[in-house]
Structure 1
Amino acid sequence: MKHGYLIAVLLVSLQISGLPDVFAQVPQTLDSVVVYLKHHTSKDTNYVRALNVMGRELHSGANPDYAKADSVLQVSEHIATQLQYGMGLAKAYTNRASIYYLTGRPQQALDYFQRALTAAENHKLNPRFICGAISNVAAALNKLHQYDKVVAMQLRSLRLQEQYNVQPRIATTYGGIGNAYRDLNKPREALSYYQQALALMHVEKNTSGMAIIENSIGVCYDGLEQYDKSLIYYKLALKHATEIEFALLQADILVNIGLALKLAKRPQEGLPFVERSLAIAQKQQNKESMANAYFNLGQIYEELKQYTPAEKHLKKALDLVTETGNKKKIADYTQGLADLYGGMKNFQQAYVFQLEKNKQIDSTTAVRTSAEVQRLVAQYKAEKKEQQIKLLHQQAQLREKELINKKLQTNGLLIGGVLLLLLGAAVSAWLLNRARLRRLEEAQRLRKQIAHDLHDEVGSTLSSISLLSGMVNSLIAQKRPESVERAVQKINSDARQILEAMDEIIWTINPGNDSLQRIALRLQEYAQPLMESKNIRFSFVTDPALYAVPISMEVRRSLYLIGKEAINNLIKYSEATEATVRFERKNNQLQVLIEDNGRGFDPAQPSQRTGQSSMKQRAEAMGGILKIHSSPGQGTRLQLVVGQ
């Protein structure tokens, strides 16, 4: 499986270049900045800032002019050096690096990202900028397939963010670690980092970043062979990339949509997407993007058994990557031709290309790199644990000194201490027994809950399947095919219902899901495809401060069921075009808001919307309050407040 994630690892540079300007008089659009530069002749810091804006807009717009952008940024770099203007110099380096990155020159991109980092550190720029510059270096290293160094740099950025309490955290740091795991074919590990990155991108309202991360999440779901999910994320990414006119990212996403459809055994549907990608890449004159489109077109034609166009496109792809010197792609595309000739029974040519491919790659490199990435992440986690252990050890030493001092007191105090110790032991034993009793009660309550859920969710449905299965033979004997078909469809429907119910029960009792982040992610995964099916513009926002907040099984279950019921009602009855789910922390309380712009209803009147009383009962049972605000024609707003 070969994806075209040319832009999938890009780029903190866009985020850094877009940091708020403290000088309001410097415009932020290409036309206005050109006018500004004509009238602003003084070569001061504002002039440098304007040049940086111009260079950024020239290379990141719908019709990028990389040569002109690079020329403008060279002037900015020169003036910033003369003025010793650190921020201007760091931004000039960053924007030049992003040009080299986009035009397939990763080594030059790495060089200039490192210069930007050095300038930021030497001029003591703000910690957020420095952390972003570190992540930029990691992005270039990823392009050079140095994944262990990628993780080392991203963890360095993450440590600094924690040290200086950078808020919100920089999304692309998490995305960069996700990229390294994804490129090492570890999609499950990558997904957790990507989801954190995407949540932060939503908070920042960073549309380009959202598109990049959504595209990468799609690649991960392809790796897990969950093509329905990958297509959902690809289409979201394409929508966002189109909104900001990010042409090369659109080309990349279109290729991935085509590949996902091919892997889902729908190659004919995928063909026009890849052809659109090729047209964009040719317009941009980007050889790497063109090569990627040609390669995937060849793969689709091969799937369709159309070997002549497949061979033509794969050879074009190999010629283009040979020009760019991308060794990994050369190896991949050479293997693609070897596989094609094998399928065509042209074993002589297949052998030639297989030998050529074997010269291109060192298979042990990936294994060593993967191990190093795992070691670095484990080391980072171990450091945090060691700090906690060190603190506990210091506290234990302090307590030990206090005990020694007590032993040196008078006999009376010693006897009193012994008595207190015995009393403490007795109290501890009593507390331990009480804790054990509480755990037994909790275990018993959990067993009853599971039994109740299995009986309600599964028992009756299994009985229905059993009865229907018994009827099928009778219906076949009676030669009633339509009735047989209806019975089989009902069996399939009931079986899916059981699987969904079992999945929810298992998810509910799994202690690994005891966090608000897991609830939010599950609700988002549940809601997203439903919203897509109704063409509802949907946003799901989670306060990053809630990620590490633990939560009990009972509260987690109630939260999930309330959210699920509210989303179901929204989908069925609201006729909305926009909807939002928001998890927030206010006044040390959890607030969950579910809003839509639909037709609304009068909460005081009987409604076809179901489960309102049940939702309120669940909210009260976990110590929360559920409020429903709605009126005809004014949409609906559901607000759940739970104390923490």
Structure 2
Amino acid sequence: MEDMKYSYLVILSVIKLLVGVSFTALAQVPNSLDSVRVYLKNHTVQDTNYVRALNVLGRELHSVANPDYAKADSILQVSEQIATRLQYGMGLAKAYTNRGSIYYLTDRQPLAVEYFQKALTTAEQYKLSPRFICGAISNVAAALSKLQQYEKVITMQLRSLRLQEQYNVQPRIATTYGGIGSALRELNKFNEALTYYRQALALMHAGKNISGAAIIENNIGICYDGLKQYDKSLASYKLALKHAKEVEFELLQADILVNIGLALKLSNHPKEGIPFVTQSLAIGRKQENKATMATAYFNLGQIYEELKDYKPAEANLKKALDLAKERGNKEQIANYTQGLADFYGGAKDFQQAYAFQLEKNNRKDSLISVQTSAEVQRLIAHYESEKKEAQIKLLHQQAQLHNEELIRQRFQRNALLIGGTMLLLLGGAVSAWLLNRSRLRRLEEAQRLRRQIAHDLHDEVGSTLSSISLLSGMVNSLIAQKRPEAVERAIQKINTDARQILEAMDEIIWTINPGNDSLQRIALRLQEYAQPLMESKDISFSFQTDPELADIPISMEVRRSLYLIGKEAINNLVKYSEATQATVRFARRDNQLEVLIEDNGRGFDVTQSRERTGQTSMKQRAEAMGGSLDVQSAPERGTRLVLTTAIAG
């Protein structure tokens, strides 16, 4: 298990590469740290030039080698206040951008997204240049990338590209292409990522941006690692290292050196990788950068583990975990804890392996439990709020009807008014009945949601947790009996069961999240599920979605059924078809949704019972959602599955 590699492309895009952060000040405003301090001391009028100078000072304070983030943020807050008072759009947008950059670099990503979005909104409100707006969009995407919202990243960056094309922004913004490449890389779409990285690299070279070229070359190397083309990745890393040394960008050098060590390890030359990772560690110590040091220690540990030199492997892995805990980096803590569990398992120290695996699982289970509990409570609170609002509305209407009835009793001698009153009373009774029926329907929906969650937790999690509990109880006994093979099998089973629980919990949370109530979200999730499975079997895979389906909402029950049918069909395809090509397509036919899953595999006789493929349960799910499932296949003729169901007009 390798530690995640850094991507300085996004960091620099926030600090200085994106035009949205670029400050080309007027001649009277200096653009360096010392000179701008002198300027501000002598320039006492709080005008637009004063705002520009504050923004330059804030930028320089947080982008130098030893940044002072707190002071920079304080200065930029003053700039923001003055720019707001002056209604100076450019100054305000740049103040927001720089504050977003500070939050980005200090790992406060929600705040980074908020301030980059403020910068974008301000740029659009004051009709700033298209180039600035495009840069601001890319900044929002950069922060979303840190939150691992890669589909949103791609959407935002493509929006920036469309604007660049619409307004013929020249030259194109290189980091927009790089941001798309990085998001695709995180989604393991390495070949697609390379296309965008190469476009970014050409723009970096055209603009003579050496540090930017180093960043892109580093990311290209990571893609080639993902494709297991290590000769190409090493060539890219060496070019990246050359460029990083030219501009004396030491932290990037440290990142690249670790990547070279990893590439050598993955290409079965682990010993050759040690000097490179050691150099990275030296840079981390020099810069007093604990994140860089932790990454280097962990990867050194993994290389020594590969060489079966267990003593230095253990020491380095533990140092990495200690540094991650010092920083409170949850992702690194989880990765390094799992790394130590795997290390002790390989070294046959099953007691230690069990202890670290249990720590990793407890951390993950705790996080999942909090997320699930919060989501369920949010849904219940939302329902209770709706229920109270309906009750208040009903009481208000009933009181209003009662008052009307009292008024109309004064005019009972008039037959026409009495008839009108009766009609109004009848209307009130119908309204009350309809409101009561609506309230009952919402109550039934909430109860059904609760039952569904309880049923899923029982079916998906309960039995597996019981299995883990039993296996955990056996481990100490097996260790006492000195049966290492049995202990290893038990721990492997615990590890497998724990991963299954995490996957099941993830699916339950995804299912009940109202933010996923669209066909586009189902299609994206199925694509994410299918892509790695297809790649593992070398199946050429095509996934197509009709753009007209993007904003069509669907209910939780239909969404769940669609996902489960698609998942089952994809599993069958990967397990049994022996196909070389496969297609999944979401299309709209009038007011019908058509989902096609097709392969060129060995097929089967549809007249024969196929219980193992779950066709019966898939058809039952399709019928339950008011649709139909048609399975067409024949031996050696491939398989074609078509799911059809109604959608809203």
Task: Give the TM-score normalised by the residue count of structure 2.
Answer: 0.54
Q: 2:116: which partner in 1?
A: 113
Residue 278 (str. 1) matches residue 281 (str. 2): yes
Please give the residue correspondences for 1:382-393 in structure 2 after superposition, counting only pairs within 5 Å.
none
* Residue from 184, 189, 213 that aligns with 1:186: 189
Q: RMSD value over aligned CA atoms?
A: 3.2
> What letter matches 1:273 in structure 2?
F
* Residue from 290, 293, 297 that aligns with 1:287: 290
How far apart, in 2, do the equivalents of 1:260 and 1:232 lie?
Answer: 11
Aligned partners of 1:61 and 1:245 also within 8 Å: no
Aligned partners of 2:184 and 2:192 also within 8 Å: yes
Q: CA deviation at 1:268?
A: 3.1
How far apart, in 1, do the equivalents of 2:268 and 2:525 lie?
Answer: 31
Q: 1:242: which partner in 2?
A: 245
Residue 321 (str. 1) matches residue 314 (str. 2): no
> What letter matches 1:39 in structure 2?
N
How far apart, in 2, do the equivalents of 1:90 and 1:381 lie?
Answer: 37
> What letter matches 2:216 in structure 1?
I
Q: CA deviation at 1:373?
A: 7.5
Aligned partners of 1:6 and 1:289 also within 8 Å: no
> What letter matches 1:227 in structure 2?
Y
Cα displacement string for residues 128-173 of structure 1 (whole angstroms, at most 9, x for unaligned residues) = 2111111111111111111122122222222322333323222222
Query: Are residues 345 and 379 of structure 1, via their aligned partners in 2, closer, same or farther at CA, if it must alter by over 3 Å?
Result: closer
Cα displacement string for residues 6-51 of structure 1 (whole angstroms, at most 9, x for unaligned residues) = 4243343212366362512222222332333333232222222222
Query: Are residues 28 and 197 of structure 1, via their aligned partners in 2, closer, same or farther at CA, if it must alter by over 3 Å?
Result: same
Cα displacement string for residues 450-492 of structure 1 (whole angstroms, at most 9, x for unaligned residues) = xxxxxxxxxxxxxxxxxxxxxxxxxxxxxxxxxxxxxxxxxxx
Cα displacement string for residues 308-358 of structure 1 (whole angstroms, at most 9, x for unaligned residues) = 232232223233334545443333222211211112111232233334444
Query: Are residues 330 and 152 of structure 1, via their aligned partners in 2, closer, same or farther at CA, if it must alter by over 3 Å?
Result: farther
How far apart, in 1, do the equivalents of 2:528 and 2:130 lie?
Answer: 25
Q: Which runs of 5+ in 1 are unaligned?
A: 387-644
How far apart, in 1, do the equivalents of 2:528 and 2:93 lie?
Answer: 29
Query: Are residues 23 and 30 of structure 1, via their aligned partners in 2, closer, same or farther at CA, if it must alter by over 3 Å?
Result: same
Aligned partners of 2:130 and 2:164 also within 8 Å: yes
Q: 2:266: which partner in 1?
A: 263
Query: Are residues 370 and 213 of structure 1, via their aligned partners in 2, closer, same or farther at CA, if it must alter by over 3 Å?
Result: farther
> What letter matches 2:6 in structure 1?
Y
Aligned partners of 2:300 and 2:316 also within 8 Å: yes
Helix, strand or coil: the match of 1:10?
helix
Please give the residue correspondences for 1:445-524 in structure 2 after superposition, counting only pairs within 5 Å.
none
Query: Are residues 363 and 184 of structure 1, via their aligned partners in 2, closer, same or farther at CA, if it must alter by over 3 Å?
Result: farther
How far apart, in 1, do the equivalents of 2:324 and 2:527 lie?
Answer: 28
* Residue from 302, 307, 320 that aligns with 1:299: 302
Q: CA deviation at 1:81?
A: 2.4
Please give the residue correspondences for 1:168-567 in structure 2 after superposition, counting only pairs within 5 Å.
168-358=171-361, 360=364, 362-363=502-503, 371=526
How far apart, in 2, do the equivalents of 1:157 and 1:338 lie?
Answer: 43
User: How many residues are aligned here?
Assistant: 383
Query: Are residues 92 and 82 of structure 1, via their aligned partners in 2, closer, same or farther at CA, if it must alter by over 3 Å?
Result: same
Q: 2:478: which partner in 1?
A: none
How far apart, in 1, do the equivalents of 2:150 and 2:529 lie?
Answer: 11
> What letter matches 2:298 in structure 1?
F
Aligned partners of 2:141 and 2:153 also within 8 Å: yes
How far apart, in 2, do the equivalents of 1:36 and 1:277 lie?
Answer: 40
Aligned partners of 1:148 and 1:373 also within 8 Å: no
Q: Percent identity?
A: 69
* Residue from 30, 34, 53 that aligns with 1:31: 34
Aligned partners of 1:171 and 1:196 also within 8 Å: yes
Query: Are residues 271 and 72 of structure 1, via their aligned partners in 2, closer, same or farther at CA, if it must alter by over 3 Å?
Result: farther
Aligned partners of 1:63 and 1:284 also within 8 Å: no
Query: Are residues 37 and 116 of structure 1, via their aligned partners in 2, closer, same or farther at CA, if it must alter by over 3 Å?
Result: same
Residue 76 (str. 1) matches residue 79 (str. 2): yes
Aligned partners of 1:48 and 1:88 also within 8 Å: yes
Cα displacement string for residues 208-262 of structure 1 (whole angstroms, at most 9, x for unaligned residues) = 3222211111111111222222222222222333333434323222221222222
Q: 1:10: which partner in 2?
A: 11
Query: Are residues 170 and 17 of structure 1, via their aligned partners in 2, closer, same or farther at CA, if it must alter by over 3 Å?
Result: closer
Q: 1:85: which partner in 2?
A: 88
> What letter matches 1:7 in structure 2?
Y
Task: Give the TM-score normalised by the residue count of structure 1.
Answer: 0.54
Helix, strand or coil: the match of 1:292?
helix
Q: 1:60: which partner in 2?
A: 63
How far apart, in 2, do the equivalents of 1:185 and 1:358 lie?
Answer: 25
Cα displacement string for residues 75-110 of structure 1 (whole angstroms, at most 9, x for unaligned residues) = 322322232222222222222222232233323322
How far apart, in 1, do the equivalents of 2:87 and 2:93 lie?
Answer: 11
How far apart, in 2, do the equivalents of 1:373 and 1:45 lie?
Answer: 49
How far apart, in 1, do the equivalents of 2:544 and 2:292 lie?
Answer: 35
Aligned partners of 2:21 and 2:97 also within 8 Å: no
Query: Are residues 153 and 17 of structure 1, via their aligned partners in 2, closer, same or farther at CA, if it must alter by over 3 Å?
Result: closer
> What letter matches 2:200 in structure 1?
A
Cα displacement string for residues 494-518 of structure 1 (whole angstroms, at most 9, x for unaligned residues) = xxxxxxxxxxxxxxxxxxxxxxxxx
Helix, strand or coil: the match of 2:308?
coil
Q: CA deviation at 1:380?
A: 11
Cα displacement string for residues 583-639 of structure 1 (whole angstroms, at most 9, x for unaligned residues) = xxxxxxxxxxxxxxxxxxxxxxxxxxxxxxxxxxxxxxxxxxxxxxxxxxxxxxxxx
How far apart, in 2, do the equivalents of 1:27 and 1:241 lie?
Answer: 28
Q: 1:403: which partner in 2?
A: none
Q: Which runs of 5+ in 2 are unaligned?
A: 365-498, 511-521, 531-541, 551-649
Q: 1:632: which partner in 2?
A: none
